[in-house]
């Protein structure tokens, strides 16, 4: 019995890893890295305030910052179209979401650990991370080294000046950061700019990802450690640009912390310098490789139902076929091609699944521009749309019934929420990827599609 996972981001990797651990024969098909590679490596599980795209930290100004656990609980009263509504149900087990998220995070941490990438965070505490622009971002979970920069734990912040580096302006960052800290009324947290001695030639190519790769070398690591040794202080966070190594990031951070005595963290970064996302994606890929999952670097053109228990994927330009007893679709939305905006219509290209926005309206079959509303800050149906599923994450066809008994969906492809505004994209990806794998396993172990009368 073989399961095929389509998609290479966090949802796909989680599904593939979970299936492999359960002993299934797994194939992961992905033509390119997932949108996870463009992320900041922050895995938020509960939206800022469900339905309201405002920073939870604004609540702090009113004296009540909500913890991730409390924000998660609000989801139960939130939008019925949110993937969590299907994943966690309405009320039968109030402890389920927390339990499932904590287990999921523990599994993710375990998968990432051999690659040296640590995952930090908990449902019981907010962490406050700085972005490269100096704005503050509340994070539930995050991968290191960004995760190490929790400002709630810091006594002062020293921003690393690296004037030659692209996309990094320590002075501007520090200015904005100081203001944000002040505006949130946090305890006094001084922000300064510090000037380390960089190894010569480090910025010969000033792109952060190149600098990060150069810092994987042990010579450069040692030289940078020497260069920051005088900058540390107890309780200080040394805030680095997103360039702290790619493969050997943990060793680099350890060396820098040992030399300086400060906590070493990266500012949260975004494209075109999403080094943390790139690192995260690489670590996921490595974990999938380690688990013995066969990886196929092809684009899936179509997914066909062979019969009630079997599916077939049409791959690449040659139209090669790949047979599957179960399929987990973790193909994302527009950036990763899981949803396409064609000339005349938005569509889900693999099966033509209907796409629903957060209000339950279909947006497939009409041009993208017609779903675009005026006002950047308004709710945008186009960006909350995806497939709708049953409780077992099986995408629904337009007749409201599952498209196929052994076809499952996970990650951003799930509609009903706006990952950009709620910021829960990676959290939903992890939980739904694991859940999709579980549902796929169940379907493989107890083939009862026929009995259920599914198509």
Partner 1 sequence: MTRWLRARVLVIGGGINGTGIARDLALRGVDVLLVERRELGSGTSWASSGMIHGGLRYLQKDPQVTEHSCIDSGAIQRIAPHLVFRIPFLMPVFSDDPLGPELVEIGLEMYDRYVSLKNGHPHTRLTRAQALALEPALSDAIECAFTLDEWGVDAARLCAANALDAADRGAHVLTHTEVVELLRDATGRVTGARLRDRIRGDETFVEAELVMNATGPWVPQLAALAGEEVRLRPGKGIHLVFERRVSNIAIYARGVDGRDMFTFPHEQNSMAGTTDDDYYGDLDRIDVTEDEVAYVLQAMERSIPSIQQHRVLHAISGVRPTLFGFGAYEDELSRDYEIVDHGAFGAAPGLYSMTGGKLAAYRLMAEDAANRLCAVLGVDAPCRTAELPLPGGEAPADLLALAKRFRIAPPAVARLGFRHGARARSVLEAGEDAHARGRRVVCACEPVLDAELRHVARAEGLRKLNDCTLRVRLGVGACQGAACAASAAGVLAEELGWDAPRTVREVAELAASRWRAVAPVLSGAQVGAMELHRHVNFGMLGLTEEILP
Residue ranges that bind partner 1, judged by CB under 8 A: 38-40, 53-55, 58, 131-137, 163-164, 166-167, 169, 171-173, 175-176, 178-180, 183, 206, 268, 270-272, 333-337, 341-343, 346, 367-370, 372-377, 380, 382-383, 419-421, 423, 425
As measured in angstroms, the least distance from the Cβ of 16 to partner 1 is 24
As measured in angstroms, the least distance from the Cβ of 361 to partner 1 is 17
CB nearer partner 1, residue 50 or residue 115 = 50
As measured in angstroms, the least distance from the Cβ of 403 to partner 1 is 23
Element spanning 426, H or E = helix 425-445
Asked if 8 and 338 touch (Cβ cutoff 8 Å), the reply is: no
Asked if 441 and 416 touch (Cβ cutoff 8 Å), the reply is: no
Asked if 44 and 424 touch (Cβ cutoff 8 Å), the reply is: yes
As measured in angstroms, the least distance from the Cβ of 54 to partner 1 is 5
CB nearer partner 1, residue 231 or residue 346 = 346
As measured in angstroms, the least distance from the Cβ of 135 to partner 1 is 5
The residues near 18 (Cβ < 8 Å, ≥ 6 apart) are 107, 433, 434, 437, 438
Q: Is 46 helix (H, G, I), strand (E, B) or coil?
A: coil
Q: Name the residue with tokens 């309405």.
A: 90
As measured in angstroms, the least distance from the Cβ of 178 to partner 1 is 8
As measured in angstroms, the least distance from the Cβ of 277 to partner 1 is 11
DSSP letters for 150-210: -GGG-SEEEEEP-TTSTT--HHHHHHHHHHHHHHTTPSP--EEEE---PPTTTTSS--HHH
CA 50/CA 428 separation, integer angstroms: 13
Q: Name the residue with tokens 């947006």.
A: 363
DSSP letters for 319-369: TEEEEESEEEE---STTTTSSEE-SS-EE-TTT----B-TTS-B-TTS-HH
């Amino acid at each position: 019995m073989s399961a095929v996972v389509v998609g290479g981001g966090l949802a796909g990797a989680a599904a593939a890893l979970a299936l492999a651990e359960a002993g299934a024969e797994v194939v992961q098909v992905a033509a390119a890295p997932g949108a996870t590679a463009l992320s900041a490596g922050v895995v938020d599980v509960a939206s800022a305030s469900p339905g309201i795209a405002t920073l939870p930290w604004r609540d702090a100004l009113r004296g009540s910052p909500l913890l991730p656990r409390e924000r998660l609980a609000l989801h139960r009263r939130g939008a019925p179209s949110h993937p969590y509504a299907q994943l966690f149900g309405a009320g039968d087990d109030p402890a389920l979401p927390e339990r499932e998220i904590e287990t999921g995070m523990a599994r993710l941490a375990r998968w990432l650990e051999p690659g040296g990438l640590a995952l930090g965070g908990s449902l019981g505490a907010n962490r406050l991370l700085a972005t490269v622009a100096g704005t503050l971002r509340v994070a539930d979970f995050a991968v290191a080294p960004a995760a190490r920069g929790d400002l709630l734990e810091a006594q002062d912040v020293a921003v690393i000046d690296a004037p030659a580096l692209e996309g990094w302006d320590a002075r501007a960052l520090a200015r904005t950061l100081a203001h944000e800290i002040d505006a949130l009324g946090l305890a006094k947290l001084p922000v300064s700019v510090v000037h380390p001695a960089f190894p010569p030639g480090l910025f010969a190519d000033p792109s952060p990802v190149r600098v990060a790769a150069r810092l994987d070398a042990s010579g450069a690591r040692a030289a940078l450690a020497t260069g920051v040794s005088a900058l540390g202080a107890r309780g200080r966070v040394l805030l680095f640009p997103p360039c702290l190594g790619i493969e050997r990031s943990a060793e680099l951070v350890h060396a820098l912390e040992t030399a300086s005595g400060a906590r070493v963290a990266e500012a949260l970064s975004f494209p075109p310098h999403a080094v943390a996302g790139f690192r995260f994606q690489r670590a996921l890929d490595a974990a999938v490789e380690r688990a013995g999952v066969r990886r196929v670097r092809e684009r899936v053109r179509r997914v066909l139902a062979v019969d009630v228990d079997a599916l077939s994927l049409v791959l690449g330009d040659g139209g090669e076929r790949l047979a599957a007893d179960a399929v987990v679709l973790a193909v994302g939305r527009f950036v990763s091609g899981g949803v396409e905006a064609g000339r005349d219509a938005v569509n889900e290209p693999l099966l033509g699944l209907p796409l629903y926005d957060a209000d339950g309206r279909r947006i497939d079959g009409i041009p993208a521009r017609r779903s675009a509303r005026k006002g950047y800050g308004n709710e945008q149906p186009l960006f909350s749309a995806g497939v709708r599923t049953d409780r077992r994450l099986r995408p629904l066809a337009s007749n409201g019934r599952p498209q196929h008994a052994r076809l499952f969906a996970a990650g951003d492809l799930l509609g009903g929420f706006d990952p950009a505004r709620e910021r829960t994209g990676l959290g939903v990806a992890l939980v739904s990827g694991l859940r999709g794998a579980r549902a796929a396993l169940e379907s493989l172990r107890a083939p009862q599609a026929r009995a259920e009368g599914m198509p």
